[in-house]
Chain A
């Protein structure tokens, strides 16, 4: 086998392996986030003796706080670069995108810097979430009777 053919083979296999590894890391990290979420729900509902749905709100606020704080400390960016969708798809990605764009535009002032850029990435999530929720809500309400 000559070196050119060998190079071709490497190119064919290299990205595929990285994809499999990325997918595995995303699966494991995302799964651990799910376990943390369930653990926090159990902990809060036992600690404050509240219902599971209230504990879920506390859990989401905790995860948002942790993600914002770690982003401000600077090492959450490296975690996201490593785990990719494992941390982007959970609610931590939403919080991370807000804090990181807030930090990025910090030097442009509090109004046109932080205030108007915080929702630069998270805005599309809220925007299309509301549009789809309105559409599907109307479908359920008008066609299926609520």
Chain B
């Protein structure tokens, strides 16, 4: 059942993005930035946590979960250190994705040439 919810939720997010992309002048860069902001704003009332509970991987794959992870790590640290903790814990949960992308990009650009 969680696979069906994953399919529907991740598909629905992508559908919204595609509709915005086709019907407005916004570029993919605008849309991904917008979705990150939406993802972190959904964490104000713990809405995204509840979505992840029901949807599982489908909620973790779209870029909205990136914004959610940012604010989630920040609030975890903030419970110990107060407002300064928000800056300390900001990248706690997103660090693996960003680090992995940087390292893979470094090695791949060393070995591969662009096709054209």
Q: Please report A residues at the B interface, Cβ cutoff 8 Å.
A: 18-19, 22-23, 25-41, 52, 56-57, 59-61, 63-65, 68-69, 71-74, 84-86, 88-91, 93-95, 98-99, 102-104, 106, 114, 118, 121-122, 124-130, 132-134, 136-142, 144, 146
Contact = CB atoms under 8 A, between A and B. Distances in A.
Interface residues of B, number: 71
Contacts of A86: 14, 18
Given A35-B6, A74-B115, A114-B109, A84 B78 contact: no
Interface in B7-29: 7-15, 17-19, 21-23, 28-29
Given A37-B10, A94-B101, 15 more contacts: A26-B18, A27-B12, A31-B6, A34-B55, A35-B10, A38-B56, A57-B93, A64-B100, A72-B112, A74-B114, A84-B21, A104-B114, A106-B113, A122-B101, A130-B90
Q: Is the interface of B mostly helix, strand, loop or mixed?
A: helix
A23 B19 contact: yes
Contact of B61 (A27, A28, A34): A34
A136 B71 contact: yes
B13 A93 contact: no
B32 A140 contact: no
A116 B40 CA distance: 27
7 contacts: A23-B22, A27-B11, A31-B58, A37-B58, A73-B112, A99-B105, A129-B66
Contact of A84 (B6, B18, B104): B18
A95 B101 contact: yes
Contacts of A28: 11
Contact of A133 (B28, B61, B70, B98): B70
A38 B63 CA distance: 15
B3 A38 contact: yes
A98 B21 contact: no
A31 B11 contact: yes
Contacts of B71: 132-133, 136-137, 140
A16 B61 CA distance: 29
